[in-house]
Structure 1
Amino acid sequence: MGLGEAKRVVTNKKLKGLGEMAFAVGGGPVNWFPGHMAAATRAIRDRLKLADLVVEVRDARIPFSSASHHLQPQLSSKRRVVALNKKDLANPNIMPKWIRYFDSCSTNQDCVAINAHSKTSVNKLLELVEFKLREVISREPTLLVLVVGVPNVGKSALINSIHQIASSRFPVQEKMKRATVGPLPGVTQDIAGYKIAHQPSIYVLDTPGVLVPSIPDIETGLKLALTGSVKDSVVGEERIAQYLLAVLNTRGTPLHWKHLNNRRLEGIRYDSKEKHEYNLKDLRPKRRKLPNDSDVFYVEDLVTEVQCALYLTLLEFTGNVEDESDLEGLIEQQFVALQKAFKIPHKASEARLMVSKKLLTLFRAGKLGPFILDDVPDANTVS
Structure 2
Amino acid sequence: MEGLKGFLKKGLGEMAFNTGGGAINWFPGHMAAATRAIRHRLKVADLVIEVRDSRIPLSSANADLQPLLAGKRRVVALNKKDLANPNIMHKWVRYFETCKQDCIPINAHSKSSVNKLLELVEFKLKELICREPTLLVMVVGVPNVGKSALINSIHQIAQSRFPVQEKMKRATVGPLPGVTQDIAGFKIAQKPSIYVLDTPGVLVPSISNIETGLKLALAGSVKDSVVGEERIAQYLLAVLNIRGTPLHWRHLNNRRIDGIEYDAEEKHEYNLKNLKPKRKNLPNRSDLVYVQDLVMDVQHALYSTVTEYGRNVEDESDLEDLIDKQFGALQKALKIPHKASESEARLMVSKKFLTLFRTGKLGPFIFDDVPDIKPVS
Is the 1:116–1:158 Cα contact (8 Å) retained in structure 2?
yes
Counterpart amino acid of 2:209?
A: D
- In the TM superposition, residue 22 of structure 1 has moved relative to its aligned partner by 7.3
Equivalent residue for 1:307, pick from 274, 299, 314: 299
- Matched with 1:40 is 34
Q: Distance in 2 between matches of 1:150 and 1:262?
A: 37
Is the 2:18–2:206 Cα contact (8 Å) retained in structure 1?
no
Is the 1:59–1:86 Cα contact (8 Å) retained in structure 2?
yes
Does residue 257 (structure 1) correspond to residue 254 (structure 2)? The answer is no
SS in 1 for 2:233: helix
CA RMSD of aligned residues (A): 2.8
Is the 1:19–1:214 Cα contact (8 Å) retained in structure 2?
no
Q: Can you list the C-alpha shifts for 1:78-127, whole angstroms capped at 9, x where unaligned?
A: 01100000000000000011111112213xx3000000001111111001
Q: Distance in 1 between matches of 2:132 and 2:181?
A: 29
SS in 2 for 1:140: coil
Q: Can you list the C-alpha shifts for 1:165-192, whole angstroms capped at 9, x where unaligned?
A: 1222224332232211222211102333
Q: Distance in 2 between matches of 1:23 and 1:193?
A: 29
- Matched with 2:5 is 8
- Name which of structure 1's ranges 299-308 and 207-216 shifts more when overlaid on structure 2: 207-216
Is the 2:108–2:114 Cα contact (8 Å) retained in structure 1?
yes
Distance 1:209 1:380, change over 3 A: farther
Equivalent residue for 2:346, pick from 349, 352, 376: 352
- In the TM superposition, residue 11 of structure 1 has moved relative to its aligned partner by 8.6
- Matched with 2:82 is 88
- In the TM superposition, residue 21 of structure 1 has moved relative to its aligned partner by 2.2
SS in 1 for 2:76: strand
- Matched with 2:326 is 334
Does residue 366 (structure 1) correspond to residue 360 (structure 2)? The answer is yes
- Matched with 2:285 is 293
Counterpart amino acid of 1:328?
A: E
Equivalent residue for 1:238, pick from 219, 225, 230: 230
Is the 1:177–1:192 Cα contact (8 Å) retained in structure 2?
no
Is the 1:139–1:200 Cα contact (8 Å) retained in structure 2?
no
Counterpart amino acid of 1:215?
A: I
Does residue 174 (structure 1) correspond to residue 152 (structure 2)? The answer is no
Q: Distance in 1 between matches of 2:38 and 2:168?
A: 19
- Matched with 1:378 is 372
Distance 1:52 1:20, change over 3 A: farther
Is the 1:105–1:380 Cα contact (8 Å) retained in structure 2?
no
Which aligned runs of 4 or more in structure 1 are off by greater than 4 angstroms?
9-12
Q: Distance in 2 between matches of 1:62 and 1:138?
A: 36
SS in 1 for 2:231: helix
Is the 1:160–1:178 Cα contact (8 Å) retained in structure 2?
yes
SS in 1 for 2:125: helix
Counterpart amino acid of 1:7?
A: L
SS in 2 for 1:150: coil
- In the TM superposition, residue 38 of structure 1 has moved relative to its aligned partner by 1.1
User: What are structure 1's unaligned runs of at least 5 residues?
Assistant: none
User: What are structure 2's unaligned runs of at least 5 residues?
Assistant: none
Q: Distance in 2 between matches of 1:9 and 1:214?
A: 22
Distance 1:53 1:21, change over 3 A: same
- Matched with 1:21 is 17
Distance 1:269 1:241, change over 3 A: farther
- Matched with 1:220 is 212
Q: Distance in 1 between matches of 2:175 and 2:161?
A: 30
- In the TM superposition, residue 302 of structure 1 has moved relative to its aligned partner by 0.4
- Matched with 1:201 is 193
- In the TM superposition, residue 153 of structure 1 has moved relative to its aligned partner by 0.4
- In the TM superposition, residue 345 of structure 1 has moved relative to its aligned partner by 1.7
- In the TM superposition, residue 273 of structure 1 has moved relative to its aligned partner by 7.7
SS in 2 for 1:194: strand
Q: Distance in 2 between matches of 1:289 and 1:38?
A: 37
Q: Distance in 2 between matches of 1:124 and 1:293?
A: 33
Is the 1:32–1:212 Cα contact (8 Å) retained in structure 2?
no
- Matched with 2:308 is 316
Q: TM-score, normalised by structure 2?
A: 0.91
Is the 2:74–2:102 Cα contact (8 Å) retained in structure 1?
yes
Q: Can you list the C-alpha shifts for 1:5-50, whole angstroms capped at 9, x where unaligned?
A: 99316799xxx9x9952799xx934333222111111111111011
Is the 2:34–2:182 Cα contact (8 Å) retained in structure 1?
no
Q: TM-score, normalised by structure 1?
A: 0.89
- Matched with 1:210 is 202
- In the TM superposition, residue 376 of structure 1 has moved relative to its aligned partner by 0.7
Distance 1:212 1:19, change over 3 A: farther
Q: Can you list the C-alpha shifts for 1:107-162, whole angstroms capped at 9, x where unaligned?
A: xx300000000111111100100011104653111111100010000111101111
SS in 2 for 1:94: helix
Counterpart amino acid of 1:348?
A: A
- Matched with 1:65 is 59
- Matched with 1:186 is 178
Does residue 56 (structure 1) correspond to residue 50 (structure 2)? The answer is yes
Distance 1:36 1:138, change over 3 A: same
Counterpart amino acid of 2:30?
A: H
Is the 1:58–1:66 Cα contact (8 Å) retained in structure 2?
yes
SS in 1 for 2:87: coil
- In the TM superposition, residue 358 of structure 1 has moved relative to its aligned partner by 0.6
Q: Distance in 2 between matches of 1:363 and 1:260?
A: 17
